[in-house]
Structure 1
Amino acid sequence: MRRYIYILFALFFVVSLSGTLLSGIYLSRLRGALEVVVEAGESMRQRDLLHQRVEDLLGVSKDDDAYHEVIDDIKKRLRKCEGCHHKGAYKEKVEKIKEAFLLVGNSTPGAKKATARLYSLTRSASQKGQELIMNRTERALRVSREVFPLFFSTVLALMVLLVVFTVIIIRRAELYTRKVVKAAGLIAEGKAVGGTIFREEFKPVGDAFGLLQREITIREEKLLNWNRRWQMTFDSINETMAVCDISGMIVQANRAFKERFGYDSEGLKLCDLVCRDFASVVRCPMQRAIDTGEIQQETLAKEGCVLDIVAYPLAGQDGSLQGGIWIGRDITKEKELEARALQSEKMVALGELVSGIAHEVNNPLSVALGYSEMLLDSGEVNERDSKRLEKIFNAIKRSSNIIRNLLDFARKRPPEEIECNLSEITEGILDLMAYELNSEGITILKEFADLPPVKGDPFQLRQVALNLLKNARDALRETGNEEGIIKTRTFVEGGRVFLEVTDNGPMIPEDIMGRIFEPFFTTKDIGKGTGLGLSITYSIVKWHGGDLFVENLPEGGVRFTAAFPSMMGDGALPA
């Protein structure tokens, strides 16, 4: 582009210089023509004056003083013609005029004739002078008519050439500008600036754009990598985190926040998105942090969710408040664990209390059981009282068994591996729960087989039976089924001992079937279940080398099946 500008300046200089030279040449020619006209005019004037003096000479006598004055004047004028510019025939005519004048001045007899001849010659010269001035004037006009069109056409041609070249340069400049704009657009779109855009004299510009694009690409890649690393770090934090502007609008949120509150949360008011769901919130902690510039802490709680919130004010480089940072930690499970720990402490205390009460109750029951048995064996009571006494005896015996099971269940001891009868263990648990199940209108069906022993811990096996029965009871409670049935069955098959617990309650949805053995997973309302019963049961069965299955029945209801290895084989258990 610079080359074209230099060429334009050079062309402008050439045009200006050419115009000046042409103007000088044409003006010089015109001046020459005018000078010739002026000379012709002067010549005509001198001729007219000479002829006029000759006419004056004819009108005076020789004796008159004026005669000599005219003669002297004619001499002077003829003297001016010496060495004049006339050539050829014109010069000869001047010489003839001089010769005739000499004859007039000599006072010879032919002087009068010579005077007439002088008059004729000067008149002819005057006429020739008029012709000369007309010819010279016409010539000057012809020169002017030739010079002016030629001058203006030449100048116009030079100007047209200058304009054409200027237009070419402007078009090149426009093309260059469009290429620059196109290259800038390609860079903005992240596309490569090809070598075909800038060529020839614009190639350095293209190289500069290419270098600029590479630099922008490198910096953009660095910025993207930094942003990805920052976002990856941001998303790897399990706490819910969000960055808000000064108005409380969410600018950026991490993965945990989006999973809890929605992936379209950015651009929404944090207070509207989060705090409105918690009735206990009087004023949003984030808004308080932005308004006061101080850290705000609060615990937000609603059914099934407890969040520990910290809201930090966010300041800019100049110290002015720019927004806030929200950090929320879900402490729902921690609160549940605290509640379970408290419940466990209560259960431990209750177990100790039950153990003490059981001992106190068991002593009088043992006395009553012994005396009733002695009376039955003595034969001293009549048949009617004997039947009544037998009912008392059986009731006392059943109460004694319940107390014994309570003591066994509440006793703290390390796990042991002994021979256990699964049918007897299950029946003992049923005795413990019989009153509760009967009072709720639940029918208990039992089908116990003679089983080979299994090797295991009786306390843990009791817990398996208890948890499965309690799970069936809870399922029937949810439906409010007035004809609730729990069927308990034991059997042997394929070298393994099985315990089945079946209820006619609701079936388990297929989408959660695979999660029911997970710790803390429960479908019950808050406070009505810990989600640990089936998980503990599954762990106990696995520890004994067995398997625990669950299935929905076609006719409705759910069946849990616990399978244990029988001691009829090698009886080995995993370590």
Structure 2
Amino acid sequence: MNDKRLDLETSELRYRRLFETAQDGILIVDVVSGKVTDINPFLLNMLGYTQKEILDKRIWEISVFQNIASSRKSFDDLQRKDYIRYDDFPLLTKNGKVQKVEFTSNIYRVGEEKILQCNFRDITDRKLAEEELHKTEELYREFYQKSPIGYQSLDSEGRFIEINQAWLDDMGYQRDEVIGHWFGDFLLPDQVELFRQRFSVFKATGNASTEFYMSRKNGSVVLMAFSGKIARDAKGNFKQTHCTLQDITQKHLAEEAIKENQRKYKALFESISDAVFVCYIESRKWSDEFVELNKMASSMLGYDHEELLKISAKNLFFYASSGLLLKETTDDLYAQHMITRESNLRHKDGHIIPVEITFHLFDLQGRPAVLTLAHDISNRKIAAYELEQSHSRLIKAEQVAGFGYWEFDLSSGLVNPSEGARAIYGLTEDTVTIPFVQMIPVPEYRASLDTALNNLITQNIPYDIEFKIKRPSDWAILYIHSIAEFDPERNVVFGTIQDITKRKQAEELLRVSEARFRSTFDQSPIGAAIYDSDLKYRQVNDKFCRMLGYSDKELNSLTVRDITYTDDLDQDIDQLNHLKNGDINRYETDKRYLHKNGSIFWAHISVAIIKDSDGNFLYYLAMIMDITARKEAEDALQKYKLIAEDSRDIILFMDRITGQILEANNAAVKAYGYSRKELLTMKIQDLSNPQAKMLTEKQIDYAYAHGMLFETSHMRKDGSIFPVEVSSRGADIEGTTTLINIIRDTTARKQAENALNESLQNYQVLFNSVTDAILVHQPEADYSVGKFIEVNDAAMSMLGYNRKELLQITPAEILLDGKYRIDEAPDIIRNVEQSNEVVAEYTLVTKKGELIPVELHSRMFELGGKRTVITLARDIRERKKLEEEQKKLRYQSEMSSRLAAVGEMAAGIAHEINNPLTGVIGFASILMEREDLPRDVMEQLQIINSGSQRVVDIVKRMLTFARQAKPVRHQVNITELIDNTLELRSYVLKTANIAVIKQYEPGLPLLTVDPGQMQQVILNLILNAEYSMKKAHEKGTLNITVSKAGDRVKLSFRDDGLGMPPEILAKLFQPFFTTKEPGEGTGLGLSLSHGIILEHGGTIRGESTPGEGAEFIIELPVMISDRMPAVTDPNAAVQSPTQKASILVIDDEAAIRTLIRIVLVQDSYKVDECAVPQEAMSMIEKNKYDAILLDIRMPGVSGIELYSEIIAKWPKLAKRVIFITGDTSSELLINHDIPCIKKPFNIAVLKSALAKILSKAD
């Protein structure tokens, strides 16, 4: 019977432990009533309810389970199905949180009961992990679909498997026009073979970064940059390529254009007054050395810090003489985490120091460690010893007994004590006085003793009194009883004293004993009751009251019969009678009581009787223990067994030390393929995958103490391996340290995770293949910026942060002036939300502080239910350089265009002036050759001629500005040119109080320039400086510096005049722009200078600050080839031929034709005139001419067009054509050595040119 009960208790303990430690929630429901009959701690903790809130309630009445059975009808459906499983069931906890669980239910019988077992497995972490994987995959998929960068995936043959919308948009194709086609079909023909070669290399190396010229659907050619990686299967075989492509056509063109144009705990620890030691303790073994200790530890023990660190904790705290056992202390420490002990420490000099040691177990850097505080209790030990000695003397004095006799001789004032009295009073002096004796009683009794003595003497009132004394001999406190009488004749008071200390102590002990009994009775952890022979309760304790739900007053009005369950009453009364009659000394039994609320509960009672001093019956004394839980455990045992056996998870009980399997359920038999008998002969190691890593001893200890959830793999009987998730927790069953392992086959879950991970890896390859930075962040609910949640490799490379650093910051922290832009963020994010894509330019700041201009492409999508912004950041530094270069080119082109327009205008004006000017100068010259004219007329003609020559100079300058005067370059000394120009202005500079400071670097090279043009530039700069300084302060200093700068010579003209703001500097070289007052300047000086310098291959720029003057800097190349076209100089005089010729003059100006005719006729030439080119052709056909003087600019047909017809019809005559023009910039004149006379000309030049060409005639 006892063995069966022991087996029952063992099984109940084992399965109860399984129920309580299970890592799944378990709920037991009575099928008939629908009431919850049991719930394990794991499920209570998961739901946030107490057991009282769940038990005995119908399942459909509990809100948390309404999703399972919201009505009685659905509960009936549930129980009819026997087994139900929900893989993803939302469970509402008490605090309103939705808990994701895997729900299963089973129905089985226990005896006559039919119960429903519901299992709840918390899958929150798994769901979170799956959601995180899905979220990440969604992020990459969204990026793939919406990225502005093109993506493509090719198979091993180079055929398209996948492309995104950006690819299609960029290339102009539809999806079905691309998928399945070979990549080479979209390349330019000369790129196909190159693709074959590079694709082979790509497949071999796994990485690609290349460029190809592709053909769009519309036929346009685009240069694409490709970056990609190879995706492989689990065996490493080729699966597909993942490539990004980016249109770099403009970038490539920009790079080419740029190449053509130009090529960054201690203070507190030490302040503790106790000695502090810290050491590790692993697997219940103390380390050999301390980790740390404070100065007090060294001071207390006499060691220096380093010596003490090397002493073993075991040797310091647990040496044999201390009386402490290492194992006992360690076990207590692991059980309680903090314990205090008294021990002794040995000083370095050998003496013993008594200490109170507190050990505290804690976690130090992931390892168990012990913090030890040692408090010196030497003084306390000394005090305790003295107290003990005093206590011994007191006990000794209390053992003295007997009476003493004494007399007070009132006449002499002396006391005559007997030896007994002396012993009691502790009188040692031979002579004792009454006042001395009267001081021996303690002060509170002295007044009453004096009164009693006085009443005895004066009124003869009996003297019988108890009091306390403090014995002088040993200062012991005694209780004294004294009786005295008065002898008036002798005038003596005499009496006896008795030491009643022991009696008083006995009375005190009795009082304490009664109090202790009452305290024990009232505070007993089990119920206690006293009742009389009528079974009426006389006294009950609080525990018994709480068991039954009554107050003590209520119970004391009841009898045992009133609260005993009817079926148990007769047996109970029968046993009480046997006890009262003396048949038995005590009786014990299990009985049922009736609770005040009507419920029944089980109790184990032990009853004895209380007798008086004569052995007669007084009362029954009953001790009552609530055994409801034990009774329920016996009923629940069968339920727990069924829970274990019907569980779909593997359950193994194993010995923690040996790994021996102690018990296994049906799921284990099915999963491993062994019979239960075979399993119970095996160890857990026999089921583990030999290749899997076994748990260490430390991990096993941790699992036993705290529980552990881990993943590994197990092996079936047939040798197959399968992944498992193990929940392991410890329990002490029958003295065996047991590990309860709940094991779940995770094969299906692993397969799903692997598929998801493979998809994730594919998208990650794509994500990190992009050469532009990709940054993903999730804005807050108020549209303010949030931290980055994902970045690609290019982002880390661009910004100089690692991934962890970037995921800790927000976009504002990498934007230039981000803290100022943060207020704009909500509006920007809303704009992104409302638009398909937002493109903007910003400047990013790298970790090192480098500024990078970028073009940001931002799009918004939803990820995990939250707004998510994905931004592609493209580095546009090269593009910015190109734009700056193009800006310069546009400026130069604009300047050239403006100068050309002004030049055309100047050329037209010069032509219009030169024609009449030729007549004025020519006729003046003819008149001046006459000798018959009066002197005053001659002087007037001279004035006319001189004025006309001035006009000639003005026209020449205009033509120079218009590039229509032919420059004549040769090597010159630039400093001499500057000095000559200064000499021209020396008088003006001197009278204007302007000092000139010259700084010429010695050894300067000669420059190949047109001296006249260059002097004009220098003069313009000097004149502008003069004007500015006069305006500023009517004086000034002009600094002129010339130095060598590489292969160029640098000229600087710096004044201290008015200076100019930036907006003026920007327009300085524009034609007709001037800052001078009307009539003081034309606005052409600097424009002309700018054109001359550019023509010489140099540069000119201005720098200025308002109020601080201006500086103009010219840089000229040291060597410039002189390739100016040679124009025939007609000024060389030749002798007139003896034979006179026939000349045709063609010019639309009558004055010029008349002048030439007069001049030539005087020299006996035959001269015909013609104003219209068409008429000239007719005249040439009819007449023979030796030479033709031909104007270039004429209405209708120009002189050049007429010359072309003459060449075609009369080539020999064409060689004797002399052009008469004010425009020498014609390409015909420059590229062909055709004689030309520049208007205005003098007569000698005309005659010389004509004579020269006629001398070359046939």
Shorter-chain TM-score: what band? 0.3 to 0.5
TM-score, normalised via structure 1 length: 0.35
More helix by share: 1
More strand by share: 2
From the CA coordinates, give the structure whose radius of gyration is larger: 1
TM-score, normalised via structure 2 length: 0.19
